[in-house]
Structure 1
Amino acid sequence: MEKSLKTYDFKTNETIASIGASGGVWEIYFASQVDGLTFYLQDIDEELCNEEEINEGVLFYEKFLGKSIQGKFIPVIGSEKSTNLPENTFDKVLIINSFHEFLFHNEILNDCKLILKKGGVLFIEEQLAKYQGEIHEGCLKQLYLENELIAFVENCGFVLLRIVDKGNEVKIFCFI
């Protein structure tokens, strides 16, 4: 998580969307390290993305870290084709270990363009396939090769800024 935190370079008072966030475990940790962040935690699964799950995560981290978390967390239920997030709102959009689960990449990526503020950054942190057709062990969905993922995103009008290698076939792709 530390390499992710450094790469995302959060600043106090930023507003961040996290797509496919479930109950926000990563985002709650990030908010424990940088005060004043507002996270919109978006997912299509109401069982995982709700106030109760988020509050449990906050309580866990507060107890574990021995300090209060000053972030704000807003759950948003989207659909397979829409994030249902407000336009022109976000400094950063995160997609952490979820891109391979999207059925409608173009629709979600086009939505990301609408919800980002001018100059905002899209971060996709994803486990990559070592070979064509490799399946993700957790969800049993197909993983993408690096060039496939980049092509999906660039075909929707984003420009690749940099790639951060986290090891173990996980990379963070930064797009504007």
Structure 2
Amino acid sequence: MPKSTRSKEEIYFMVLNAILKMEIAKGHLKWTLSDISRESKVTRSLIYYYFGKEKKAVLATAYQYLVERFYSLDKPNPLPLRQRLSNILKDLKEMPYLILLFYSAKGEDSEFGRIIRKKETEFLKGLQKEFPHLSETQILEVYLMELGAMLYHLPPTKTKDLFELHLGPVKK
């Protein structure tokens, strides 16, 4: 796509995608903004404009984006479980390293690890509200099925049948 026709959202996505990819490929903060510029095909000046010049702040923005994509908690009307999973599976086709970054950081004693664990707890509480008829164990099973679908690379079109045991068939 020619540079002049890219929207702000596309540029933002390309840069965040490159940051997360470089975090996996080169290691924690071992990349430069020039690396991000080359990978994303976005000029450094545009990266500075949208994200600033501090690598830690840029990475924090990328991590926040990642958490929002995985948990969709910050939306006024969260997506239904199956639709959210379908969207995540589509994202993982474009950015397969996200799951590795997400779960390697989850166990770390770092700011991002704490953010992930907090958002995960909020997400599980949200599932309990969405599905009050399920026990805490069943909610955890649903979440683990969702994670398994991501690791399995389940085609997004197959999510409608995934949770039938706990949630029942999709209503038409």
- Same fold? TM cut 0.5: no
Bigger share in helix: 2
Bigger share in strand: 1
